[in-house]
Amino acid sequence: MYKLMIVDDEYMILEGMKRLFDYSALGIELVYTTDSSREALNYALTHDLDMILTDISMPDLTGLELIATIKERSPDVAFIIMSGFQEFDYARQAVSLGVKDYLVKPINKQELRQLLETIVAQRMHKSQQAQAFLRGDKVTIQDLKEQLRVSQVYVVVSREDIPTALVSVLRHVDQDALFFSLCEEPQQACIYQEELLVTSTMYAIKESVKASLFYEKAVSADEQVMPVYQDLYPLIKTGDIQGILDQLPLLKQEFNDKCPPVHLTRQFFIQLMVDSYQQFNRISNEDIAPLYTNAKQCQTLEQLVEEVIQRLLGLITQHKYNSHVGQVLDIIRQEYQKELTLKLVSERLFLNAVYLGQIIKKETGSTFSELLNQERIRIAQSLLLSTNDNIEDICFQVGYTNIGYFYKIFKRLCQESPKSYREQIRSRKETSLS
């Protein structure tokens, strides 16, 4: 409902205007009427109004003086002037103040109704555009500012609606229901806020809100590079769970300092747990599914790291790999892009190829070629996620010389093609506003 105040120093006219028609049917709430321009000014300076219908000739303050004073504080209020005078000078001054129209008494009921309907329609369009922006629709910042008639506007995210907001939309961020509001000024108590610039997008704003909640501090919209997995990978491949646990406090601090997008942080720790479980042949759906479910339910970095600790502690009683297997895994990790075979590696380690193949299978549950493919595809996934390199280049970077074979292995291990994998990641990122 749009809020209307009526001001006229003639009692009978004021009473008649109150009953002229059903304002609520037009989407208007008649919030205040007065026969004093001074009282009208006091009310307007302490309450939010959408439109004011005022007489022009009144004691204390004329209608034009009232309008000029209110305009300084609330430039977006729509004014309609009523007067028994028909002088052109009044009309000209009214137009210069941005008055919507100048109505001559006695008021034509149909004319006033049409004018109010026009103002409501304009207000609704402005509100709809602002709401559309907050929902993530494509509305340019410049158009938004022009429609709201403000030179600067802030997006403010809070748990309660802001009374002075230009418009607010209730949206869900993970499990939180939050108010996304457009305000003319910064606010004191809020989860996140930023001034809208031409480069601002609701996707980036929502990602910042997610990060601010997840990392429990103010976080900007800039995406940081995810911490490198390389230091942890040798510990995972050798089954050194205690070594991973020892590294987690430093890793947690690194994430807290860099604040990567939340979906990347969750993906990182899920991958850490999945890789650790796979090394101990714990790769059934009963083992893996809870890793994803529980990690996605963690609302803060603190909760996510604690979940990882508890999961890894469940594996800590498992043995470490045979030293020869550890050497093989290290070679694969460092030289995956080269042409490696079990025969070549066994010769480097001065071991019988059959014997080495047997202990690899026994310790890891996979053959040498399967471990090599797993490592190459893991690196390929990372490149698909973090670079714009074409798929053929990525194929060669990770050690494959046949693009068709690369596609075959990738689809077998990931259940989708490299192209589909990349599109799924980008699509998930773009639709995370929903």
Q: Is 326 left (phi over 0), alpha (psi -120 to 50) or beta?
A: alpha
What is the predicted pLDDT for the residue at 72?
81
Amino acid 253: pLDDT: 87
How many C-beta neighbours within 10 Å does residue 238 have?
Answer: 19
| pLDDT number for residue 391 | 93
What mean pLDDT, rounded, does the chain reach? 82
Query: What secondary structure does DSSP assign to 360-424, as a single string?
Result: HHHHHSS-HHHHHHHHHHHHHHHHHHH----HHHHHHHTT-S-HHHHHHHHHHHHSS-HHHHHHH
Check residue 394 and give its pLDDT: 94
Confidence of residue 432 (pLDDT cuts 50, 70, 90): very low
Closest CA to 220 of 234, 200, 237: 200
Examine the pLDDT at 197 and tell me if it is beyond 80.
yes
Strands (E), 57-148: 78-83, 101-104
Average pLDDT over residues 425-433: 53
User: Cα separation of 123 and 76, whole Å?
Assistant: 10
Percent share of the chain, pLDDT over 70? 87
pLDDT given at position 403? 94
Helices 241-258/301-313 angle, 10° precision: 170
The pLDDT score that the predictor gives to residue 424 is: 72
Residue 279: which residues within 8 A CB-CB, separation 6 or more?
236, 237, 239, 321, 364
* 35 vs 150: CA distance, rounded Å: 31
Helices of type H across 229-300: 233-237, 241-258, 262-279, 285-297
What's the burial of 188, exposed, middle or buried (CB within 10 Å: 0-12/13-18/19+)?
exposed
Stronger pLDDT, 301 or 257, i.e. the higher one: 301
Show the tokens assigned to 121: 């329609």
Q: How far apart are CA 12 and CA 30, in angstroms?
A: 17
Whether omega for the bond prior to residue 106 falls within 30 degrees of 0, making it cis, is: yes
Distance between CA atoms of residues 70 and 63, nearest Å = 11
Residue 353 has a pLDDT of 93
429, pLDDT greater than 70: no
Confidence band, pLDDT 50/70/90 cuts, at residue 88 = low
The confidence score (pLDDT) of residue 206 equals 86
**Highest mean predicted confidence (pLDDT) among 8-22, 96-110, 137-151, 304-318:** 8-22
In this prediction, residue 433 has a pLDDT band, given cuts at 50, 70 and 90, of very low
Question: Which neighbouring-strand residues pair with 53?
Answer: 6, 80
Q: β-strand 78-83 against 167-173: which pairing, if any?
A: unpaired
Lowest average pLDDT, out of 133-147, 171-185, 187-201, goes to: 133-147
Alpha-carbon torsion (110, 111, 112, 114), positive or negative: positive
Residue 434: predicted pLDDT: 46
Residue 99 has pLDDT above 80, yes or no: no
Cα distances from 48 to residues 165, 166, 259, in angstroms, run 10, 10, 39
Q: How confident is the model over 157-165, as a mean pLDDT? A: 84
pTM, rounded to two decimals: 0.48
Higher pLDDT, 37 or 240: 37
SS3 217: coil
Angle (deg, nearest 10), helices 323-335 and 353-364: 90
Please compute the mean of the pLDDT values over residues 33-62 and round it to a whole number.
88
Q: Please, are residues 54 and 8 in contact by the beta-carbon 8 Å criterion?
A: yes
pLDDT over 80 (residue 24): yes
Confidence category of residue 230, pLDDT binned at 50, 70, 90: low
Going by pLDDT thresholds of 50, 70 and 90, the confidence category of residue 425 is low
409 within 8 A of 421, measured Cβ to Cβ: no
For 104, the 3-state DSSP assignment is strand
Whether the per-residue pLDDT at 316 is higher than 70: the answer is no
> Lowest mean pLDDT: which of 61-75, 90-104, 173-187?
90-104
Q: Is the pLDDT of residue 327 over 90?
A: no
The residues that bridge with 167 in the sheet, in sequence order, are 182
**Secondary structure class of 307 (helix, strand, coil):** helix
Q: What is the pLDDT of residues 329-341, one digit of tens each?
A: 889 988 999 999 9
pLDDT band for 185, please (50, 70, 90 cuts): confident
What is the model's pLDDT at position 317? 54
The domains located in the chain, with CATH, are: 2-107 (3.40.50.2300), 128-215 (no CATH), 223-318 (no CATH), 321-434 (1.10.10.60)
> Identity (one letter) of the amino acid at 365?
G
Residue 86 has pLDDT above 70, yes or no: no
Q: Identify the H or E element spanning 308.
A: helix 301-313
- Confidence category of residue 426, pLDDT binned at 50, 70, 90: low
Q: Which residue has the higher pLDDT, 283 or 47?
A: 47
Of the ranges 18-32, 59-73, 236-250, 340-354, the best mean pLDDT one: 340-354
Residue 246, CB-side half-sphere exposure with 13 Å CA sphere: 7
What is the share, in percent, of the chain residues with pLDDT greater than 90? 20
Question: What is the layout of strands, in order, in the sheet containing 192-195?
Answer: 167-173, 176-183, 154-158, 192-195
Q: What is the mean pLDDT of residues 125-132?
A: 74
